[in-house]
Amino acid sequence: MPNLKSLMDQRATAWNQAQEFQSRGDDNPLSAEDRSAWDAALADVERLSTEIETEERHARLSAVDYSQVVPPEKTPEPGEDRQASQETAYRDAFSAFTRRGMSGLDNEQRQLLMSNQTEIRAGATSPGSAGGYFIPTDTLAKITETMKAYGGLLGAANVITTASGNPLNWPTNDDTSNVGAILAENAQITEQDVTLGQKTLGAYMYTSKLVRLSLQLIQDDAFGVESWLARKLGERIGRAVAAHLATGTGSSQPEGLFTNATAGKTGAAGQVTSVLYDDLVDLQHSIDPAYRGSAQWAMSDSALKVVRKLKDGDGRPLWEPSTQVGVPSSLLGSAVLIDNGIPVPAASAKSIGYGDINAAYVVRQVSGGQLMRLDERYADYLQVGFFGFMRLDAKPDDASAFKVYAHPAT
């Protein structure tokens, strides 16, 4: 990533220049020329930060981390070579199905796909059927990575993958208010029961909606329609998931992390779109130290713009830009996660969160996405319809691990 490295170096230089002018101003008032240069350096930091964020997002979308989905390479055990060969054959058959449909498959490919098929009869065509096939692992990884890019919360949450979509129950317990005691000699031990609860995750169906491609585009396929289409479908599903992971109601959709989160700090009257340095400190310390070792900030880009303008008592910006590729910029010593599904600063909005998101939020995904191809429905347009779908649910787990900054109503 030479371009990203160059941008990081430029931002580090601009930041150092700004800090130098800041240190001068600590002793004597800056001259008009120096203040102009200081403002220019800060403007460069702002501009370069935006470019870096764009480059990092592009890198996430174009360079999929397959290790998150595909097991790392190891010495094949007996039978593994055969399994790898079957996976390659399935991927090739799926690619052929995407480009040419069932008629473009040989008998072996057709049997391979049908062994994993969920067939859905298309009532709009007679005769006719639409086969839904599991998306190969590497293509599914592209969709998953795209969803993470659009919804930063997904990458930080505790993600559980299950083979089926049956209700998933798990016990809960909060024993933090109970403490032990000194026992006097010959005294009976006091009883203190633990209180157990239960939470349940379902599996809501997310769809990319329908995409129609012309036969000419599919047949020519000069750029790899399978990967391109997977990315587009993943972006659509990702946008829908991102909004729900942040502020979903929990009724007929996942419950968002911010929806019912406890306010660790509420702004004073008049702070309907603003936040103070002291507010952020209070929010950090509203989280128990046991969680702060893995804690991070979560906010939208609009909220980050507000926060980046804050300065401490010596006039130094709270936001610390990263000067190293792969190391996130920090705020009061903690990383900042950006997710535009999180509410922007506004009256009564919960716009900034802080805590251990992995402990606070759990996401359940049903393994495997599926892609549907509709050959006959749009045949008179010489088009083929495609849509993808995935099943997912999410809800808060440990409420003590994450709290939010709430703006006042007025």
> Given this model, what pLDDT does residue 74 score?
47
Q: Mark whether 270 and 377 lie in a shared domain.
A: yes
> Given this model, what pLDDT does residue 25 score?
62
User: Does any domain span residue 102?
Assistant: no
Q: Mark whether 18 and 160 lie in a shared domain.
A: no
List, for residues 266-295, the tens digit of each pLDDT value: 999 999 999 999 999 999 999 999 999 999
Tallying the residues shown for the chain, one arrives at 410
Q: Mark whether 142 and 263 lie in a shared domain.
A: yes
Bridge partners for 385 per DSSP = 212, 374
Mean pLDDT of all residues belonging to the chain: 79
Report the pLDDT averaged over residues 68-94. 56
pLDDT higher than threshold 80 for residue 378: yes
Asked which of 16-20, 260-264, 286-290, 362-366 is least confident by mean pLDDT, the reply is: 16-20
**pLDDT bracket for residue 69 (50, 70, 90):** very low
Tokens coding 255: 């419950």
Listed residues 63, 82, 113: the one ending a domain: 63
User: Does any domain span residue 191?
Assistant: no
pLDDT higher than threshold 60 for residue 125: no
List, for residues 28-55, the tens digit of each pLDDT value: 777 778 778 877 887 887 777 777 777 7
Q: Mark whether 239 and 373 lie in a shared domain.
A: yes
Q: Mark whether 142 and 18 lie in a shared domain.
A: no
- Higher-pLDDT residue of 68, 180: 180
> Given this model, what pLDDT does residue 325 score?
65
Q: Mark whether 164 and 297 lie in a shared domain.
A: yes
Half-sphere exposure of 327 (CA within 13 A, CB side): 11
User: Does any domain span residue 89?
Assistant: no
User: Does any domain span residue 126?
Assistant: no
Q: Mark whether 12 and 152 lie in a shared domain.
A: no
Q: Mark whether 203 and 338 lie in a shared domain.
A: yes
> Given this model, what pLDDT does residue 122 score?
34
Phi, psi torsion values for 326, nearest 5 degrees: 90, -10
User: Does any domain span residue 77?
Assistant: no
**pLDDT bracket for residue 9 (50, 70, 90):** confident
**pLDDT bracket for residue 229 (50, 70, 90):** confident
Distance CA 364, CA 160 (A): 5
Report the pLDDT averaged over residues 323-348. 86
User: Does any domain span residue 152?
Assistant: yes
Q: What is the DSSP string of 117-158?
A: EEEE--TTSSS--EEEEEPPHHHHHHHHHHHHHH-HHHHHSE
Q: Mark whether 18 and 157 lie in a shared domain.
A: no
pLDDT higher than threshold 60 for residue 90: yes
**pLDDT bracket for residue 99 (50, 70, 90):** low
Class of residue 66 by CB neighbours under 10 A (exposed 0-12, middle 13-18, buried 19+):
middle
CA distances (Å), 371 to each of 85, 93, 150, 378, 392, in order?
Answer: 22, 13, 20, 17, 16
List, for residues 196-211, the tens digit of each pLDDT value: 888 899 999 999 999 9
> Given this model, what pLDDT does residue 141 score?
60
- Higher-pLDDT residue of 368, 367: 367
pLDDT higher than threshold 90 for residue 105: no
User: Does any domain span residue 357?
Assistant: yes
User: What is the domain-level CATH number for residue 208?
Assistant: 3.90.1690
pTM comes to 0.68
Distance CA 297, CA 265 (A): 14
List, for residues 388-404, the tens digit of each pLDDT value: 888 999 999 999 999 99
pLDDT higher than threshold 80 for residue 386: yes
Q: Which residue has the tokens 């009564």?
A: 348
CA distances (Å), 329 to each of 15, 35, 246, 332, in order?
Answer: 13, 25, 21, 10
> Given this model, what pLDDT does residue 315 score?
77
Q: Mark whether 240 and 140 lie in a shared domain.
A: yes
List, for residues 166-184, the tens digit of each pLDDT value: 999 877 777 777 888 899 9
Distance CA 41, CA 16 (A): 9
CA distances (Å), 311 to each of 39, 59, 274, 308, 327, in order?
Answer: 15, 31, 13, 8, 22
Q: Mark whether 282 and 158 lie in a shared domain.
A: yes
**CA nearest to 350, candidates 233, 267, 249, 236:** 267
Q: What is the DSSP string of 259-286?
A: TT--EEEEPPTT-SS---HHHHHHHHHT
User: Does any domain span residue 74?
Assistant: no
- Higher-pLDDT residue of 239, 51: 239
Range of the domain at 397: 135-173+198-410
pLDDT higher than threshold 70 for residue 296: yes
Bridge partners for 169 per DSSP = 200
Q: Mark whether 219 and 352 lie in a shared domain.
A: yes
Q: Could you tell me which residues come within 8 angstroms of residue 1 by beta carbon, excluding any fewer than 6 positions away?
A: 55, 59, 325
Let me know: does 370 contact 134? Beta carbons within 8 Å. yes
> Given this model, what pLDDT does residue 269 score?
95
**pLDDT bracket for residue 6 (50, 70, 90):** confident
The count of domains in the chain is 2
